[in-house]
Structure 1
Amino acid sequence: MDKKNIKKVVLAYSGGLDTSIIIPWLKENYNNCEVIAVAADVGQGSGELEGLEEKAKKTGASKLYIADLKKQFVEDYIWETLKADAVYENKYLLGTSFARPLIAKRLVEIAQAEGADAICHGCTGKGNDQVRFELSIKAFAPNMPIIAPWREWNIQSRDEEIDYAEAHNIPLKITRETNYSKDKNLWHLSHEGLDLEDPANEPQYNKPGFLELGVSPEQAPDKPTYVTIHFEKGVPVSLDGQKLCAVDLLSQLNKLGGENGVGLADIVENRLVGMKSRGVYETPGGTILYHAHNKLEEICLDKDTYHYKQGIGEKFAELVYDGKWFTPLREALSAFVDSTQGTVTGDVKLKLYKGNIIDAGVTSPYSLYDEEIATFSADDVYDQSDADGFINLFGLPLKVQALKKLKLGK
């Protein structure tokens, strides 16, 4: 990349530590280029967006776009992943992963509209997000140069970033003592760094200010909270009989789950770049939805589809985690998932209590559960003597193998 040709750069901007120092760094290292900041509103809250335009311009940006992506984020990314029951390494609900392709797509749209010469992001060279952003950018602007300061500059740590910010009079909302690396959106909040870098350290859930989306299970109420979620074709559409838009539904579940200490996960995950990383995640509403959706599928999907779909969910999660949202395979897997969701309609009642999600009833007009067949009481539907022939045929290969062993004296 010839730096002399870079006159206008679109920057993925959050106003956090990384992107706050990138604006002056770009102007210092790329011939005082124009920097257009783009902040994606994916539900991180007004507190993180407040004052962002003033801050961006004060540090050297020519303008700031705030792109409201909340509705699209939930409907086109979160719900698609939820329907797939996609969970990375059995614990991670992909909160950061599926936000990145959406943000990257919007960055490309703005860069093309502005006639920008490059797109810049603040992802570190150790993380997954650099891959997610750049693969998504390549999917829509394959020839667009990408600037990744963490792979260029000589800054080695978040402490050194703070040094740079202080030297350039850049205001920060964090201190060296509260310098967790966080990512927040409508789905989750992640915490990394500081004491969490040692897996031997217990997360300080009860420490004031650590949790932002809820409370620890110990601090949750002694009385349980009930909630009933109605799904239509695998998509949640109402809570306790009240139909809600996607954003409001998830927001209300975040509140209910957070108040009851639901959705905390302490994970050591295998990053795409090869290392293991420890993070603590708050995903209150998402954890409830995954539980409810899976519960509904238990009664609505036949055995073969239900079992096969579990493997699809694992592969789907891996693709999303690895930044491969805009790929033929992910799109094909979504098509398969959608074909399974036609009967995933019904109500799931759950009891939330001190970090636990307890099943409290499930109903569906498409339920494959037949009480007449499954009952332990007398019935005229199932002839138990039919099991003789079934077991003889089902066990025939095993019987033949055993007879051969006897014949050979083994």
Structure 2
Amino acid sequence: MAQEVRGVIAPGKNEPVRLETILVPDPGPGEAVVKIQACGVCHTDLHYKQGGINDDFPFLLGHEAAGVVESVGAGVTDVAPGDFVVLNWRAVCGACRACLRGRPQYCFDTHNARQKMTLKDGTELSPALGIGAFADKTLVAAGQCTKVDPAVSPAVAGLLGCGVMAGIGAALNTGQVGRGDAVAVIGCGGVGDAAVVGARLAGASKIIAVDIDDGKLTTALSMGATHTVNSRTADPVEAIRDLTGGFGADVVIEAVGRPETYKQAFYARDLAGTVVLVGVPTPEMTLELPLLDVFGRGGALKSSWYGDCLPSRDFPMLIDLHLQGRIDLAAFVTETIGIEDVESAFARMHAGDVLRSVVTL
């Protein structure tokens, strides 16, 4: 029998979110119902609200979540009721061409729940990134549940579900930062600061944080940056070159998602260096670069989608490092809020006042 729970929906483009009663069906084959304990407020949820992803309104928002499996459907063996899990939006299929080549982190056919959650009047909801976790409970594909050590705070664990994993993975997985590398991170919000953490974890010798906000640069220093550049007052390309002996960084991570900052990243890298785009552009943005420069500078231009992560591998590892005190994931939690405060959290996010607001239930 379907359960009635509270959930935050985006009813239409740029309309204020609403707290509604939603119906969560019993899990079918390959599905699980998860009781949500915490869910971060991510920019991607704001993109859904603004119609920047698609127009499949109404959306059930929230995806950066952790909780406890309440029930599972037929055929589910990897998780069981009572398991503490982080939800992910890369539930690999195991059968697509990427999975069969041993590259499941690039799975082309990730799984979501087949059944739909609805409003009380039967209106079907589109869950953000196939999750929909601004709710007391949600229905997901069982493969979207990644078991981690329950000793961790749910407010911390849930952040791996999107932004923090995207940034750390951009450095570790996509950029493949190595020991002794010089790394520059352009844009020091939550994802950029996570890239700083990833670069430090990888053993980078120099981590240059670039932003237009001195407060964000101070935070980046606390996360492990060794140098900062305020690009309102200094040319970031020249500043990065000056800090790297005139050569440029080995890896430049662009965490803004704009053509202007991407060009800065492109010219701030060393010859044969790597640019990683992890900032999310909007559909109308275009990029123009001299093709001779693309050819002549060599190296690699990469996009990082979800930090090229494999949740079953990366989530437990990062939680263990946090519990060992080797990385401080709790530093990303600026505030905890109630489920009724999501709209105001979007405003604080837009103003740049927080790294992460986390809804606790």
User: Which structure is larger by alpha-carbon Rg, 1 or 2?
Assistant: 1
Q: Greater strand percent: which structure?
A: 2
More helix by share: 1
Q: TM-score, normalised by structure 2?
A: 0.28
Q: TM-score, normalised by structure 1?
A: 0.25
